[in-house]
Amino acid sequence: MVTLGVDLASQAKKTAACRIRWDGGSADVECLRIGLDDPALLDLFGHPDTGPDKIGIDAPFGWPGDFVQAIQEHWNSMHWPSIDRVDVSRLRLRRTDRAVKKKVRLTPLSVSADKIAMTAMRAARLLAKVHDDGEDVDRSGETCRFVEVYPAAALKRWGLPFKSYKGKGPDKADKRDNLVCDLAKETGLNLTDKVRSGCRESDDKFDALVAALVTRAAAIRCCEPIPDEDREHAAKEGWIALPRSDSLARLATDSRQSRCWASGH
């Protein structure tokens, strides 16, 4: 199996990607790059028959349904929903954001009220191009190659530091180095000097690597299932693949078929 993790940003210079090949209880990083524009990312996505088996993107795949409806009604008739301060989260957070907040006690950035919206627009542009080229895209991530990931939530779920590694300076680099070593030990990842130095120098590259690990968890069905009552919303708003707490050690050893998503089970 080959997984691709993308730490997407609104600009190419901060966009990183990591490609991992999983084989026989171990894993090799085949690519760890930064500074990726849309054509470079689409090239990494490749064709569904020959490209990565599963692709995880750290960016929202949609907007809250209540927010979309509110904007449309306001556009058409100046109407705005009468909700109090307690319920305003329905406009700020998607169903999946609220689920992550409940399960992990970590609140994803609001795609309707934060700068992450610019990154979401880029994700929408990329997925639209993939769709226009003939590949099915399911925003829930269940029945296609693409899945939404959230590295910080995954690290927290795995019991690892999820805040203090971001930023510049030797202390931050050391924390990323320790983290990537811990991840390699748990997953069977062959940690080369090039990969290790790449993660030391850039938290974007490190997040791309984590995204590739979460993508593997999604591909082998080691993430929390989408509740039946949220399935319709997930197909429109997107759904964050949240790995199970015991999934890290299973990433290299699980022997299920690499394209298990293709059959929908």
Q: Assess whether pLDDT exceeds 70 at residue 265.
A: no
| Residues 213 and 251 sit within 8 Å (Cβ to Cβ) | yes
pLDDT value, residue 173: 97
Phi-psi sector, 24: left (phi>0), alpha (psi -120 to 50), beta? left
For the cut 60, the answer to whether the pLDDT of residue 152 exceeds it is yes
In the chain, the amino acid numbered 118 is M
pLDDT at 253: 83
In whole angstroms, give the CA distance from residue 196 to residue 175.
12
Averaged pLDDT, 142-171: 96
Residue 161 Ramachandran class (φ > 0 left, ψ -120 to 50 alpha, else beta): beta
Distances (CA, A) of 45 to 51, 208, 226: 6, 14, 25
Max Cα distance, the chain (Å): 59
DSSP 186-203: HHTEE--HHHHHHHHH-H
3-state secondary structure 121-153: HHHHHHHHHHHHCCCCCCCCCCCCCEEECCHHH
Which pLDDT does position 86 carry in this prediction? 53
The pTM of this model reads: 0.93
Q: How many C-beta atoms surround the C-beta of residue 184 within 10 A?
A: 18
Mean model confidence pLDDT for the chain: 93
Tell me how far apart the alpha carbons of residues 173 and 198 are, in angstroms, rounded to a whole number.
Answer: 10
Is pLDDT above 50 for 217?
Answer: yes
| Helix, strand or coil, per DSSP, at residue 20 | strand
Q: Which residues are bridge partners to 189 per DSSP?
A: 27
Report residue 26's pLDDT band, with 50, 70 and 90 as the boundaries.
confident
pLDDT: is 258 or 19 the higher one? 19
